[in-house]
Each structure stands twice: as structure tokens, then as C-alpha cells.
């Protein structure tokens, strides 16, 4: 997650908060404004086609099987063919039903 590029007015120190996705500043430094959020979404949307193209290239041309496999999994996930979430139910007649939703963390690249 990128760090906010703004600086404190009082101290002049760089902000240490996380910038919004697709943006360069945090909510406190202007990212909460609707027009800033809209531009961040537009920047992200503009990267979708090049990202899919690059994943397709990796799928076909990667020198390592692990890279090709990872690209294939990413493409399938984005196309809606990802594995289902695991739902675990437990309990007995004496206690209320406990529901635990377990999701696999997203893989880091």
C-alpha cells in the first residue's frame, strides 16, 4: 500500500498514513473528496486491460512453470472461476450456533 505523499502543515514531516488505492494521498489530505476518488477509480480502470494483457503474456511465455501457473490462477479468479469460500458450522443443542467464515488470504506477488 503506498504512503501518502502529503506533508504536515505544522511539522513539515511527511504523512505516514496509507494513500487510497489508485491515489497518492490519504483521506485526511484530500482523498475523501468525490472528484479525487473518481480520478483514482479512473486510473485503476485504465490499468485493467494492460494488466490482463500482461497476465496473458506470462501465461504463454513464462520461463518458469510457477509463473505460468500463477498467471493462470489470477486470470481464472478474475473471470469468476475462483474456488468457493469455506463455511464451517459448529455447535450443539446446549450452546448457540457458532458460524466461522474462513477465507483464504489473497496471494502476495
DSSP at 29 = G
Q: Are residues 10 and 36 in the same domain?
A: yes
Q: Are residues 1 and 42 in the same domain?
A: yes
Of 109, 90, 108, the C-alpha closest to 100 is 90
Return the C-alpha cell found at 25: 494521498
Summarize pLDDT for 9-52 with one digit per residue, the tens: 899 999 999 999 888 999 999 999 999 999 999 998 998 889 88
- Residues spanned by the domain of 52: 48-81
Sign for the pseudo-dihedral over CA of 89, 74, 31, 42 = negative
Q: Do the domain assignments include residue 40? A: yes
What is the count of structural domains for the chain?
A: 2
What distance in Å separates the CA atoms of residue 109 and residue 105, rounded to the nearest whole number?
12
The gap between the terminal CA atoms of the chain, to the nearest Å, is 13
Over residues 63-75, mean pLDDT = 87
Q: How confident is the model at residue 89 (pLDDT cuts 50, 70, 90)?
A: low
| CB 59 within 8 Å of CB 71 | yes
Q: Do the domain assignments include residue 93? A: no
Amino acid at each position: 500500500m503506498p504512503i501518502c505523499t502529503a506533508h504536515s502543515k505544522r511539522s513539515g514531516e511527511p504523512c505516514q498514513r496509507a494513500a487510497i488505492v489508485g491515489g497518492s494521498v490519504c483521506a485526511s489530505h484530500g482523498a475523501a473528496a468525490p472528484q479525487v476518488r473518481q480520478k483514482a477509480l479512473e486510473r485503476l480502470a485504465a490499468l485493467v486491460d494492460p494488466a490482463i494483457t500482461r497476465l496473458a503474456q506470462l501465461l504463454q511465455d513464462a520461463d518458469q512453470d510457477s509463473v505460468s501457473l500463477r498467471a493462470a490462477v489470477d486470470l481464472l479468479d478474475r473471470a469468476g472461476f475462483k474456488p468457493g469460500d469455506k463455511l464451517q458450522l459448529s455447535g450443539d443443542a446446549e450452546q448457540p450456533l457458532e458460524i466461522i467464515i474462513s477465507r483464504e488470504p489473497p496471494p502476495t506477488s
